[in-house]
Amino acid sequence: MLAQILCILLAAALIAALCRIFVMRRDFRSLTEQIRMRLHEDTNTALRLAGSDKQFRKLTAELNAQLDELRAEQLQYLSGNRELQNAVTNISHDLRTPLTAISGYLELLDNEEKSPEAEQYLAVIAERTDQMRQLTEELFRYSLILSEETAAPQETVCVNAVLEEALAGYYAVLTQRGITPQVTLPETQVSCKCSRTALARVFSNLLQNALKYSGGDLMISMDTTGEICFANHAAEMDQTHLAHLFDRFYTVSSAQHSTGLGLAIARTAVEQMGGTVTADYQDHMLTVRVHLPVKSV
The pLDDT tens digits for 47-63 are 776 666 677 777 777 87
CA angle 83, 89, 91 (to 5 degrees): 100
Reported for 279-282, long-range contacts at CB under 8 A and 24+ positions apart, including other chains, are: 279/242, 279/245, 279/246, 280/242, 281/234, 281/237, 281/238, 281/239, 281/242
Closest CA to 192 of 217, 162, 216, 171: 162
Q: Which of 41-55, 161-175, 231-245 has the lowest mean pLDDT?
A: 41-55
What is the spatial order of strands in the sheet that 219-222 belongs to?
182-184, 219-222, 227-233, 285-291, 276-282
Q: Helix (H, G, I), strand (E, B), or coil: what is residue 184?
A: strand
pLDDT of residue 150: 47
∠ CA 148-77-270, rounded to 5°: 35
In this structure, of 78-82, 160-164, 231-235, 275-279, the range with the lowest mean pLDDT score is 78-82
Is the CATH number of domain 155-295 3.40.50.2300?
no
**Are β-strands 182-184 and 219-222 bridged in parallel, bridged antiparallel, or unpaired?**
parallel
Q: Cα(217)–Cα(180) distance, rounded to whole angstroms?
A: 7
Taking only the tens place, the pLDDT of each residue in 5-36 is: 777 777 777 777 677 777 677 777 777 777 77
pLDDT at position 159 over 80 = yes
What is the per-residue pLDDT across 180-206, written as a single tens digit (0 to 9) for each?
889 999 989 999 988 888 899 899 989
Assess contact for 202 and 290: CB atoms under 8 A.
yes
Amino acid at 37: M
pLDDT, tens digit, for every residue of 244-254? 777 776 666 54
Per residue in 83-141, pLDDT (tens digit) is 666 666 677 767 777 888 888 888 888 888 888 888 888 888 888 888 788 777 777 77
Note whether 159 and 186 are within 8 A (CB): no
Which pLDDT score, from 0 to 100, does residue 260 have? 66
Q: Which long-range contacts (CB under 8 A, 24 or more apart) does 76-81 make?
A: none
Distance CA 241, CA 42 (A): 36
* Of the ranges 28-32, 77-81, 165-169, the best mean pLDDT one: 165-169
Residues 142 and 85: their CA atoms lie apart, in Å, by 9
Domain with CATH 3.30.565.10 in the chain: 155-295
Helix (H/G/I), strand (E/B), else coil: 172: helix
In this prediction the pTM is 0.60
Beta carbons within 8 Å of 190's beta carbon, 6+ residues apart: 158, 159, 160, 222, 224, 226, 294
DSSP 185: -
